[in-house]
Chains A and B, each alone.
Chain A
C-alpha cells in the first residue's frame, strides 16, 4: 500500500479489480495472531471452516495452519475451537 496509487485516468473503467484478492495481503491488518497448540488439537477442522478469510489451511497430516499473509487477527478461530487449543497472541 506504500507505492503511489494510480490517477483516475489510469484506473480501468468499471472499477474492475486490478489485482486478485490473493495479491491483497491483509495479514498486516491484524494486531493479534492465533497460535494453535497441536498437542491439544483434535483435528476437528472447525477453525478452518469458521475462518472468515479462509486463512486457516488443513495440512496433509490433518492439523491446521494459519496463513499469516491473510490472517486479520479476528479471533473467531480461538472463540470457536471446541478444545480451546488456539490462543490469540499480540503481534510484535
Chain B
C-alpha cells in the first residue's frame, strides 16, 4: 500500500480534492452555501490546469444537474455539488438521472430546507430526496467525505448498479471544519476509478453501450405509456438491490488501497450493549464521545453509525442491532404529518417483521443547525434506559434541543 499524504482539509475541500484526483470530464457548477467551496476550489484546479475537466458555470442548480445528465448521457464522468434549496430546485432532474441510469456523483452539503431561510445543517434536503433513486452515503468527518468522494464513482458505475450517488456531508459542521485527512496519491486514485464502465443495451439499432454516440445511435429518455413505465421502475428497484451487493465489493477494494474499511453500518461498542443509538452523519461522532463517557460510568452504551441510507441496509441493520433491548433513532429531519422522522420510520418498518425487536424511539434533533450537545445525547441515553426499565415507549417521537418549556 502506497504512502498516503496527510492534509488539513475541511469537508468541502476534501470533496473537491477527491473530485480533482478523479478528474471528471465535466463539472457543472452553481454555488450555494455551504457547498460553494467545493465548486470554487474545483474552479481553481481548472484555472491552474490541474484537471482536464470541462467546467460549466450554469445559471441554476436545475441546470447544473441537467448539464451533468447531458454530459453523462454522452459518456462523460460528471460531478456537481449542491445543498438544501439547490437540491430542491433540481428535484425533477434527480429522478431523470436515476431513471436514465447515469452514474453521476453529487456532493450534498446537508443544509436545512427553507423556509424560513436557514443555511445551517440538518438532513431535510437529502431526506426529502430519499425516493429519487440515488444512492446516498452519509459522512461523519472529512476523511469519510474524501474516501466516499472516490468510492462513489466505482459504486455508481458498477455494472449491476449504474445509478447516481449522493455523498452527504453536514453543512458547516463538516463542510467548513478543518480536519486531518489522509489522501491517496494521484496515481492510486486514478488506478482505482479507472475508466468509466458502460453497460450494453439492446437499442433500436442493435446492441450497444448505454451512451449517446452518433456512430451507434440510441434514444435516451423516451416516453413511456401505461404499459411500460412500471417495468422500467422495477429495473431501478432491482438496481438498488444490486447495490446492496456491489457496495461491499467496492468497499473491500478501497480498503486494500487505503487501509480504511467501510460498510453500510459502523457499530461501536455494540457487542454487549444494553442501550444503543442509531444515526447518520457527524452527530454520531458526538454520540461516540458520550458512549465512551457512559461506558466509563458502567453504562453498557453502544452506537450504530449508518453510512449508507440508500439502499437501506435492512438485513444488516437487524443483524447489527442484534439483541440490544432498546434503540434510539436520531433523525436530523422531520417529516411533517408522518408517524416520525424518516430514519425512524424505515428502521421501525424493518423491525416490524422481526420476532425479536428492540423498543424503538425517535429523537428528532438538530433542525436548522441547532446544536446537539453531549449532554443532550446523554439525556437520550437516559431516556432509552428508562424505556428499557419500564418496558414501554411512552413517547415514540421526541424532540431534542427545542425550546418547549419556559425558561429553557
Contacts and interface: CB of A to CB of B under 8 A. Distances in A.
Given A8-B232, A8-B234, A8-B235, A14 B201 contact: yes
Contact of A15 (B199, B204, B205, B224): B224
A45 B154 CA distance: 54
Contacts of A5: 227-228
B118 to A, nearest CB: 37
A44 interface: no
Grouping DSSP codes into helix (H, G, I), strand (E, B) and loop, the A interface class, with mixed when no group exceeds half, is loop
Using C-beta atoms within 8 Å of the partner chain, give the interface range for chain B. 20 to 34
Interface in A1-53: 5-8, 11-20, 23
6 contacts: A5-B228, A13-B199, A14-B210, A15-B221, A16-B202, A19-B204
Interface of A: 5-8, 11-20, 23
Nearest to A19: B204
Given A8-B235, A12-B201, A12-B203, A17 B228 contact: no
A16 B235 contact: no
A14 B231 contact: no
Contacts of A20: 204-205
A13 B201 contact: yes
A15 B99 contact: yes
Contacts, number: 61
B220 interface: yes
Contact of A16 (B210, B227, B231, B234): B210
A16 B232 CA distance: 10
A63 B326 CA distance: 81
B72 to A, nearest CB: 11
Given A7-B231, A11-B232, A11-B235, A17 B224 contact: no
Ranked nearest first, the 7 interchain pairs of A and B with the lowest CB-CB distance are: A8-B231, A12-B201, A8-B234, A17-B219, A14-B101, A15-B232, A20-B204
B49 interface: no
Contacts of A14: 99-101, 162, 201, 210, 220
Given A5-B227, A13-B101, A18 B232 contact: no
A46 to B, nearest CB: 27
Given A16-B218, A20-B205, 4 more contacts: A6-B231, A7-B231, A14-B100, A16-B210
A7 B238 CA distance: 13
B228 A16 contact: no
B204 A17 contact: yes
A7 B231 CA distance: 7
A19 B231 CA distance: 17
A17 B202 CA distance: 8
Contacts of A19: 204
A68 B218 CA distance: 26
Interface in B233-266: 234-235, 238-239
Contacts of B234: 8
A33 to B, nearest CB: 23
Contacts of B228: 5, 11, 15
Contacts of A17: 203-204, 218-219, 222
Contacts of B232: 8, 11, 15
A16 B224 contact: no
Contacts of B218: 16-17
Contacts of B204: 16-20, 23
Nearest to B219: A17
Interface in B190-235: 199, 201-205, 210, 218-222, 224, 227-228, 230-232, 234-235
Contacts of B203: 12, 16-18
Contacts of A13: 101, 162, 199, 201, 210, 235, 239
